[in-house]
Amino acid sequence: MNEFVGLRFNLSNYTYSVFLPATGEIVIADATLEGNRWNAARRVAATGRPEWTQLPDGIEVTFAIAYHHEPIPEYLFRFVLHDGDGAIRMGFGMRNHRDIGLRLMNTDVLSGGQLKLAFEQPVTLNGGAGAAETLVQPGLKRECENSLMLTGLVAKQRRTLVWGGLANRDFGKWAAIGPKSRREPAVTVLSLKADDPVGRLVDPGQTYWAEDTFYLDVTTADPFAALEKYGRAMREANHAAPKVYDFPVLCGWSVGALSKLPNINNSRALVAEMDAAVACGLTKYTKVGIRLEPDKYLQDTEQGWWDDEHWAKHGHLVPPYETMAKFCRAITERGGIPYTYFQVGMPSDDYARAFPGHMLDNDISKLAVWHHHHQPLVSFDYTDPDFQKHMLSVWQRLRRDGMRGIKFDYPETGWRPEGGFEDKYATTASAYREVFRLAREGLGAEAFLDERNLGESGRPCLDVTAGLVDTQRNWADSNAFVARMVTIGGLRWYKNRTVFNYFPDTKTVHDLTPEVRRSMLTMMFLTSGRLDLATSFTLFTPEIVHDFTRIYPMYREPFSARPLDAFTGGDDPQVYDLELTPDWHQVALFNAGQAVRPIPVPLSGDRASTGAMGLDPAGEYYVYDFWADRLVGKLPGTAVIERELEPLHCAMLSVRKVQPHPQVISTNRHVLQGWVELADVQWDAAGKKLSGKAVVIGGEPLRIVVAGNGRVPVGASGRLEEHPAGNDYRVLVLECEQTTEMIWAIQF
């Protein structure tokens, strides 16, 4: 044990309990350990003793348990406690004593563990990935992929548990909570397991420790803090660092197929789109991704060949950009980022006939059998050495061509529960990861990799690609903006921008009202890590360009906005709080309902129970509405902010603690109102001067709203204007012909 959490093992039946050393309270009791579904409860004798190892920063306990059936493997379990950390890390493996190879199919590191806390008003949040629905639900019964969070009141005090997968390699992870049995429905048990339909082969006489690990935290009471701690642990364990998508991506397919605009899904038309992005002024603010989608299905396609000849043959590369190198060069020279598209497991018929050894089981005998395009009966084997060489050559060639981003479509076709891998040690999960590992190796660390995992054909939506891909799509094909799109990303805030970026497919901007357009941009900015477009740049008006560029550049920090009212009983969170510093929050109020309604948020109070921001009740706060360009007020810390909003409308508010000197309270440039466009803002008390640096876009005045806090400005390095809120407020206006960083100051 450490100062926060302890483990107690019962060697008579190989169960363990989790307790809190400070109070002796047992949180989870009599949890069993299972390997390949064997455990001591199956009336099979078990043997094994723990080994304790002192680590530089904690302690490790290792079990080797044999469930007696001759000859036997040993199932291995590891528990690690780090100093100063209440989370338990768990690992597993197998030692094969037999004279034949054995497969480790599944392991339960927590099975039937009895929850000893009497929760009132319990709710759970599933750790959704891909397009799996992500919801807060009441009660104590839930099973899902990846992880679970449970929170509620125990003896009128907030308590939270988080359990789920941590590092990923060979197995998917599943978590559950529910009644122990029909005979004991009042006893609630927890489980946490690794599973793979193929399993990991362990040779005779060999010991295998999975790189996969698990996480259990019963010590962090606040659900927001508990899940954010888990997200950071996932980031570290998987070496995840999802890149910042500091640009929108225009989808060549969506513009025509979803928005019913003219077809632009070829190299020539997409270069013209890049020209339109430059012409409308968008590239003064941000680069633009341009995605060519070679998306032909069934029979002979580009898939597998992935070369200029076949992309041209099927009409996606056309003169004068008839090669990927020419297409990439044209996009890059115009300030864009070239993107394209691969179908993961849907080989062209002629490629399969030419290279049957690149297919699963080296078998193409079902090539002529009718099937849905996304359910191929013949598929690539990403563990085959020859196919791996081919894939690396494809990725390396594209890297030389200048390709920067890849969308992996239908990745479910790469999840092969039937096996058939050339690598006998491959699992379904590890073979799936190989798709993206090869791309990362060939394209380099700087490439943008997108996984469109919708869970089609009964495939699971898992976190197994953490550390390999930058983005997971979390919605089916759609160019619409609906409230649940905000929810699915918002409820993954602890993983968003930390482990993955999430996004709900492409969006249009040309057919929305200004209010809904601004709301969509704001909420995608806060609950996603990127924005893909289904609107042609030829339709970008000055008004659209203005609104669109308020979310660029993206902020670079690996955290996301908290859905403050997630645990207060509503179906969809409507208050999102991005804490930039303890004294500076950016808060969006969003009407996710079907009718006009007031959306409130208390400045102070308990976050989980009341949906409050948790600010200092004794403090004072400036609240400034970005889109309305209006000071909401100088409010006490006990106040409640409330806005009445139409459906799908939002208000973006900057909430900053009042300082004992002049301070910036907003700008007109960016929805974060000073976080990305201003730097080194400081008050010089001796010189009575407020100063800083600002990135000013050529041709667009930057307006910085300043509160004097009782001091009167006497001069400035730019133009000072009055503010409608009163004499204590001024607007500093900075202008330049070319985009530049300017040093500014206001003398008081």
For the record, the structure tokens of 687 come out as 């010189």
Position 65 scores a pLDDT of: 87
Residue 319: give its domain's CATH number.
Answer: 3.20.20.70
Encode 427-443 in three state secondary structure: CHHHHHHHHHHHHHHHH
Residue showing tokens 């990846």: 146
Number of domains in the chain: 3
CA–CA dist 738, 400 (Å, integer): 33
349 plus 401 within the same structural domain: yes
Domain-located, residue 557: no
Q: What 3-state DSSP class applies to 140? A: coil
Tokens of 4: 């926060």
Domain assignment present for residue 628? The answer is: no
Query: Which residue, 537, 507, 541, 548, is CA-closest to 264?
Result: 537
pLDDT (0 to 100) of residue 71:
63
The CA distance from 443 to 518, in Å, is 35
Provide the pLDDT for residue 544: 98
β-pairing verdict for 172-179 and 142-145: antiparallel
Any domain includes 253: yes
The confidence score (pLDDT) of residue 570 equals 86
- Kindly state whether residue 585 falls inside one of the protein's structural domains: no
Both 228 and 79 in one domain: the answer is yes
Residue 312: partners with Cβ closer than 8 Å, 6 or more residues away: 318, 322, 323
The confidence score (pLDDT) of residue 193 equals 98
Cα–Cα dist 190/214, whole Å: 14
Helix (H/G/I), strand (E/B), else coil: 5: coil
**Tens of pLDDT along 584-617?**
999 999 999 999 999 999 999 999 999 999 999 9
Q: Look at residue 352 and give its three-state secondary structure.
A: helix
The answer to whether residues 259 and 303 belong to one domain is yes
End-of-domain residue from the set 204, 237, 270: 237
Where does a domain end: 237, 257, 285? 237
Range of the domain at 27: 6-237
Asked if residue 614 is part of any domain, the answer here is no
Q: Are residues 35 and 98 in the same domain?
A: yes
Q: Are residues 85 and 182 in the same domain?
A: yes
User: Which has the closest alpha carbon to 550: 489, 509, 493, 500?
Assistant: 509
Q: Considering the domain boundaries, does residue 563 fall inside one?
A: no
In the three-class reduction of DSSP (H, G, I as helix; E, B as strand; rest coil), residue 142 is classed as strand
Q: Which positions of the chain have pLDDT values less than 50?
A: none
Q: Which helix (H) or strand (E) holds 516?
A: helix 514-527
Pairwise CA distance, residues 74 & 65, whole Å: 5
Within this chain, do residues 227 and 329 fall inside the same structural domain, yes or no?
A: no
Cα–Cα distance measured from residue 41 to residue 14, given in angstroms and rounded to the nearest whole number: 9
3-state secondary structure 117-131: CCCEEEEEEECCCCC
Tell me, what CATH number does 745's domain have? 2.60.40
Eight-state DSSP code of residue 522: H
User: Residue 66: which CATH number?
Assistant: 2.70.98
Q: Are 589 and 644 contacting, i.e. CB atoms less than 8 angstroms apart? A: no
116 lies in some domain: yes
**Residue 186 shares a structural domain with residue 313:** no
Same domain, 126 and 189: yes
Boundary-marking domain end, from 475, 505, 534: 475
Question: pLDDT, tens digit, for every residue of 49-93?
Answer: 788 999 999 999 998 888 766 567 899 999 999 999 999 999 999
Residue 734 domain flag: yes
pTM of the model as a whole: 0.97
Statement to judge: residues 33 and 152 lie in one domain: yes
Retrieve residue 695's tokens: 């990135």
Sign of the torsion angle spanned by Cα atoms 567, 572, 578, 583: negative
Tokens 């397991």 belong to residue: 193
Find residue 584's DSSP bridge partners: 581, 656
How long a stretch of residues is the chain? 748
255 and 224 in a common domain? no
Q: What angle do the packed helices 514-527 and 483-490 form, to 10 degrees?
A: 20
Q: How many CA atoms lie within 13 A of 69 on its CB side?
A: 8
Q: Do residues 188 and 303 both lie within one domain?
A: no
Check whether residue 140 and residue 230 sit in a common domain: yes
For residue 359, give the DSSP letter.
B
